[in-house]
Amino acid sequence: MYAWFYRHVLFGPNWLRIIESLFLLYLLTIVLFLWVYPWAFTTFGLNDNNIG
């Protein structure tokens, strides 16, 4: 899957593909920390410290 993405979705020479991959990984990390994790934290009650 990653090889297909690297070959077919990213464009340019190899050095540019590496930079694009790092940038997309950076964007994914930002999206997770700003929107996905806070939503999951409040939706599923992950801040509850009780067991059981």
At 10 the three-state DSSP class reads: coil
Residue of higher predicted confidence among 39 and 50: 39
- Share the mean pLDDT of the chain: 89
Going by pLDDT thresholds of 50, 70 and 90, the confidence category of residue 47 is confident
CB 42 within 8 A of CB 36: no
The pLDDT of residue 17 is above 70: yes
The pLDDT of residue 51 is above 70: no
Residue position matching structure tokens 């090889």: 3
Q: Is the dihedral of CA 16, 19, 24, 25 positive or negative?
A: positive
Domain definitions of the chain by residue range = 2-41
pTM comes to 0.76
